[in-house]
Amino acid sequence: MDLVKSSNPVLSEKMFSRDQVYGQETMTLNGTMNKTGLMLLLVVLGAVFTWGKFFNAFNGEFPQEAISAVTPWLLIGGIGGFIMALVTSFRPKSAGITAPIYALLQGLFLGGISAMMEGTYTGIVMRAVALTLAVFVVMLLLYRSQVIKVTDKFRMIIFAATGGIALLYLVSFVAGFFGASFTFLHDSSTLSIGISLVVVAVAALNLTLDFNFIERASASGAPKYMEWFGAFGLMVTLIWLYLELLRLLSKLARRE
C-alpha cells in the first residue's frame, strides 16, 4: 500500500499492509469512527466502575481506604491494558476482540486516576473530559476542512516532537530509580506548565496524523477488521491527550 506514516507507533504502514486480500470488504473512515465511539463507551464503563469504588470509600479527606479500594483495579487496568495493547499491535486480526478489552481495561485505570485527581481538585475531571472531546472535534474539523494539511514536513516535525517527549518521560522514569527527580515536569512552575502545554499541543496534532493515516488506509483497501485496529490507534492518542490535560489542569489548580 502507498500509505503515509503516523507518529503513533500503533498505526504503522506494516500493520495496515498485512494480509490484504483484494475483493474482500474493506475498512472505511466512518466505520473506524463508529468503532472509536464504541471503544470510548467501554472506557467510560470501566471508568465508572473504579470511580464508584473510590468514592464509596471516600469521606472527603482523601483516606487511605479510598486509595486501597482502587489500587488493585488500577494495576489490573494498567498492566492488562498494556498487555492488550501489545497483543493488538502484533496481532491486528484480533483487534475486534483485543481492542474493546483494551478500552475496558484502560477505563478501569483512567477511572481510578481520575477519581484520585477529583478527590484533590474538585471539578478537574469534567474539565479534562470536556477539553479532550473538544480538542478531538476541533482537530477533526480542522483536518477535514484542510485547514491543517498533513504534509511530509509536518509529519516529520510531529514525529520528532513525539519521540522527544517519549524520551524525556523515559529518562525521568529511569532517573527516579536512582533518586533523581525532574521536578520541572511535575511542579506547578511556569516552566512546567509551559511544557505541559507543548505536550498537549503535540498530542492534539497527533490526532491529525491518525486521521490522515486511517483515511489513506481506507482509500488503499485495508481489510475490514483494520477498522478496529485503526480505532485502537486513535484511542491510544486520545487517552494520552486526556492524561496530559489532566496533568495540566492539576498544575494550574495548584497555582490558585
Residue 37 lies in a domain: yes
Q: What average pLDDT does range 27-55 have in this prediction? A: 92
End-to-end CA distance of the chain: 52
Can you give the pLDDT at residue 1?
40
- The answer to whether position 7 is within a domain reads no
The C-alpha cell 469504588 sits at: 53
C-alpha cell at 50: 473504579
What number is the average pLDDT over the span 39-54?
Answer: 95
Residue 137 belongs to some domain of the structure? yes
- Round the average pLDDT of the chain to a whole number and report it: 87
What digits encode the pLDDT tens for the residues 130-142?
Answer: 999 999 999 999 9
Domain assignment of residue 39, yes or no: yes
Percent of the chain with pLDDT over 70: 89
Per-residue pLDDT at 141: 94
Query: pLDDT tens digits for 175-225?
Result: 777 777 777 788 888 999 999 999 999 999 999 999 998 888 888 888 888
Provide the b/e sequence for 188-214 (b: ≥16 CB within 10 Å).
eeeebbebbeebbebbbbbbbbbbbbb
Give domain status of residue 2, yes or no.
no
Distance, in Å, from the CA atom of 226 to the CA atom of 238, rounded to the nearest integer, reads: 18
Assigned domain for 13 exists: no
**What are the cell numbers at 205?**
496534532
Count of domains forming the chain: 1
Q: Which residue has the cell 466512518?
A: 30
pTM above 0.75, yes or no: yes
Q: Report how far residue 19's alpha carbon sits from residue 75's, in angstroms, rounded to the nearest whole number.
A: 34
- pLDDT band (50, 70, 90) for residue 3: very low
Distance between CA atoms of residues 7 and 208, nearest Å? 10
Tell me the percentage of the chain whose pLDDT exceeds 90. 61
Give residue 12's pLDDT. Answer: 54
Range of the domain at 210: 24-254
Cα 145 to Cα 68, 138, 149: the distances in Å are 47, 10, 9
Is the residue at 17 inside a domain?
no
Q: Is residue 98 in a domain?
A: yes
